[in-house]
Amino acid sequence: MPVIDYLERNAKLYTNEVALVELNPEEKDKRRLTWKEYDLIESTKFAPYRREITWGVFDEKANRFANMLLSRGVKKGDKVAILMYNCLEWLPIYFGILKTGAIAVPFNFRYDASEILYCVELAEVDVLVFGIEFIGRIEQNAERLSKGRMLIYVGDNCPNFAESYRDMVADSPSTAPNIEITDDDFGAIYFSSGTTGFPKAILHKHLSLTQAAEMEQKHHATGRDDNFLCIPPLYHTGAKFHWMGSLVAGSKAVLLKGAKPETIISAVSSERCTIVWLLVPWAQDILDAIESGAIKIEDFHLSQWRLMHIGAQPVPPSLIKRWKKHFPHHQYDTNYGLSESTGPGCVHLGMENTHKVGAIGVPGYRWECKIVDENNNEVEKGGVGELCVKGPGVMTCYYNNPEATAETIKDGWLYTGDMAMQDPDGFIFLVDRKKDVIVSGGENIYPVQIEDFLRTNDKIKDVAVIGLADKRLGEKTAAIIELKDGVTCTREEIEEFCLAMPRYKRPKEIFFEEIPRNATGKIEKPALRKRHKADMLVAQENQG
C-alpha cells in the first residue's frame, strides 16, 4: 500500500501521540541554557528551539497542503520540489504532495543558484517550495524560475516573487483529498549525489517508497516504543527512508539540527532516543570527544539507546571496534544502498551479524544481489566484480535520460557501479567505486582497502585514497590524510606504517589536509583528484 496510507492509519490510531519533534540547539545556545536545564524544562516551554506535532496534526497539515495544491491546479504527475532545511514543515509538505498524486522532488540544500535552476528544468518542476535560507539563491533566477511555475515560500516575510505557504494553507480543508493513489503511480524524483558530475534525476514509483519504509521497519525491528533520532537532511533518501521505519511502526522521531558530538549525545539523552543513524565522520567525532574527556557519557541518559547504524559510505571496522568499547550493549547495523535503489537497505549487515563487521552484508528484505565481471558473468565467491541489485525498490528510470537508464538497468537489475566481493558465507564486501579503482602498473588497486588500513593508525582521523596520473605506472596512489586534533605526524611515519602493506598498494604521494565530504558523508573524490592534479602540474612545472 502507498506510504500515505500509513500516515492516515497513524492519525486515526495514535491521533494525540507525538509523531515528530524538531530540535534546534543553536536557538537553545542563544539563550545560554545548559543541557541539564534543557532536560528539566517542560517541552511546551521550548517553543523557539523545540517544537513537536502529533500524528493527527501531521496528517491534517499534509491534507491542507494537498488540498491547496489541488485548488491551484496541481494534478497527478505534476512535480513539486522541496528546498528546505529539516524542520517540522518538511515531512507534512512531502506527504501533502504525495496525497495529490503529484511527484515529490526533494532538492539538496547545498545547491547553488545555478544548480537549483538546472534541477528545476531537468525534472520539469511545476511548483517549488523553499525556506528562508534560500531566498537569495532563488532570487538570482526568480524571473526564469517563476515562468510557468508556482513559487511557495515557507517562513515569515514572504519575498515579492513568491506566495506565502502560511497564507495559502490557512483556509484549506484538513480532510484527506479524494485522489486514488496506487503503488504503480509515480511518487518521487531524487537526484544522484553529484560527486561524479551534474546530478541525474531518479524517478521512483510509490511501490519503491513503500518498499523502503517496510524494509527499514523490518531490518531494525522498529516498534511502537522506539524513538528515532534523524540528523541527516531529509532530502536524502537515507534520512527519509530510515525515518519511514518509524512511520510504519507508528513511533516517535526527532529531527535534530546540528551534528556536533555533544549535540547528538544530549539529544539522545533528553529525548530518550533508542535508534540513531550516524555518518562515519559523526561517529568518529563522538568517539574522539569521549576519549578526549570532552564528553562524559555517564552524565547522560543513554541506557535506552539500543541501536546505532551507519550507511552512505564504507565503514572502517576499526571504528566499530572503538564504538563497541564505549557502548558494548549497542546493536549495530550497516546499510548499503543508493538513490537509484530508494536509499539504504538493498544490502544490509543485519543486527545479528556484528561478527562480520567490515562487510556491507547480505541482500535486504525482498532484494536479490549478484556480482558480475565485465562480460556480465557472475564471479565466483572471493572474486571481485560489479555489484548488481534487483527488487521492488529499483528506480523506474533516470528522468528524460534513456541512455543513462539503459547503462544502469539491464533485465531488471540495477548496476550499482560499485566493485564488491562475496565471502564463503555469502556476505558481501564493498571493494570500491568502479570509477575509483586505480590501475597502477597493470594492477587493480582498491582505495577502500588502503583507507581501511590507514584508519587503524591512532593518529589518523580520516583518509581518502585517490589515483593520480603517472607517466611510468599509468596511475599512482595518493593518500590524503586528516589527522586528529592536536596530533602531529610526518610523511616518514606514514610510509613506515604502510610497510605492512604489499608494495604495490603503498601510497606514492601523501598529503595532510582536511577530507571534504558532502552532506551525506561521502568523500568528494572528484574534487580531491582535481585539486591534486593541479598541484602535481604546478610541481612539475617548477621542477622544469
Please report the pLDDT score of residue 27 as a whole number.
61
Boundary of a domain, candidates 282, 309, 336: 309
Closest by CA to 297, choosing from 323, 259, 333, is: 323
The one-letter amino acid at 400: N
What is the rounded average pLDDT of the residues 439-451? 76
Weakest-pLDDT range from 129-133, 219-223, 451-455: 451-455
Residue 130 within any structural domain of the chain: yes
Q: Report helix angle 237-249 to 3-13, nearest 10.
A: 40
Q: What is the CATH number of the domain that holds 115?
A: 3.40.50.12780
In the chain, how many H helices and how many E strands? 18, 27
Residues 6+ apart with CB under 8 A from 540: none
Residue 60 within any structural domain of the chain: yes
Residue 395 within any structural domain of the chain: no
Please report the pLDDT score of residue 313 as a whole number.
65
Q: What is the CATH number of the domain that holds 471?
A: 3.30.300.30
Boundary of a domain, candidates 278, 293, 309: 309
Asked if residues 19 and 53 have their Cβ atoms less than 8 Å apart, the reply is yes
Residue 265 within any structural domain of the chain: yes
CA dist 378 and 249 (Å) reads 38
Residue 330 within any structural domain of the chain: no
Please report the pLDDT score of residue 37 as a whole number.
55
Residue in the block written with cell 606514514: 494
User: Residue 143 belongs to what H/E stretch?
Assistant: helix 142-146
What is the rounded average pLDDT of the residues 236-243? 90
Residue in the block written with cell 541527516: 232
Closest by CA to 507, choosing from 455, 456, 465, 458, is: 465
Weakest-pLDDT range from 49-63, 191-205, 270-284, 292-306: 191-205
Q: Residue 352 — pLDDT band, cuts 50, 70, 90?
A: very high
Backbone angles phi, psi at 416, to 5 degrees: -80, -20
Looking at per-residue pLDDT, the higher value among 194 and 22 belongs to 22
The one-letter amino acid at 64: R
Please report the pLDDT score of residue 41 as a whole number.
47
Q: Is the dihedral of CA 43, 47, 50, 51 positive or negative?
A: positive
Give the C-alpha distances (Å, rounded to integers) separating 253 from 18, 56, 461. 8, 15, 30
Q: How many CB atoms lie within 10 A of CB 369?
A: 23
Residues 6+ apart with CB under 8 A from 173: 63, 64, 67
Task: Determine the 3-state secondary structure of 169 from DSSP.
Answer: helix
Boundary of a domain, candidates 244, 275, 309: 309
- Judge whether residue 46 has pLDDT over 50: no
Asked if residues 395 and 208 have their Cβ atoms less than 8 Å apart, the reply is yes
- Judge whether residue 42 has pLDDT over 70: no
Residue 403 within any structural domain of the chain: no
CA dist 393 and 344 (Å) reads 10
- Asked if 305 and 449 sit in the same domain, the reply is no
What is the rounded average pLDDT of the residues 86-112? 95
Residues 6+ apart with CB under 8 A from 471: none
Residue 243 within any structural domain of the chain: yes
Number of domains in the chain: 2
- Judge whether residue 32 has pLDDT over 70: no
Please report the pLDDT score of residue 520 as a whole number.
62
Q: How many CB atoms lie within 10 A of CB 410?
A: 12
pTM for this structure? 0.81
- Judge whether residue 394 has pLDDT over 90: yes
The boundaries of the domain holding residue 76 are 3-309
What is the rounded average pLDDT of the residues 123-148? 95
Backbone angles phi, psi at 392, to 5 degrees: -70, -5
Residue 398 within any structural domain of the chain: no
Q: Residue 237 — pLDDT band, cuts 50, 70, 90?
A: confident
Looking at per-residue pLDDT, the higher value among 277 and 544 belongs to 277
